[in-house]
Amino acid sequence: MRITQGFTFEAAHFLPHVPETHRCRRMHGHSYRVDLTLEGPVDPKTGFVVDFFDLEAAFAPLMERLDHHCLNEVEGLENPTAELIAIWIWDRLKPGMPMLAAVRVYETPMSVAEYTGA
């Protein structure tokens, strides 16, 4: 069984390693969406793979570091592309949430990066 819970946060960033003429080189903001997908068996007693409230609680400390911040100032996100944000979330969430199967970061509704640990 796979379950997914979505989260949204607002943040600013700029991409320091793109050419000076690239529009993302300048500071700008996004309404990000993060989908966390977990995979595992359904517990016959609870009926859950993982309680969504437990997933929300596990993600809360990361959300606090991301929401309404300049991502370039977050340790480990000095080059905050959607791809690197997904890996950053994975690296911090996976140790305590072993059933994590995918992290998707939507920079816009049409642009998404997915990381599965590979």
Domains of the chain, each with CATH number or no CATH:
2-115 (3.30.479.10)
Is 73 assigned a catalytic role?
Answer: no
pLDDT of 12 reads 98
Q: What is the pTM of this model?
A: 0.96
Ramachandran sector of residue 68 (left: φ over 0; alpha: ψ -120 to 50; beta: rest) = left
Is 68 assigned a catalytic role?
Answer: yes
Is 69 assigned a catalytic role?
Answer: no
User: Which residue, 73, 75, 102, is CA-closest to 90?
Assistant: 102
Summarised one tens digit per residue, pLDDT across range 84-115 is 999 999 999 999 999 999 999 999 999 999 99
d(CA 89, CA 45): 30
Summarised one tens digit per residue, pLDDT across range 50-91 is 999 999 999 999 999 999 999 999 999 999 999 999 999 999
Name the catalytic one among 10, 56, 64, 68. 68
Name the catalytic one among 24, 39, 70, 83. 24
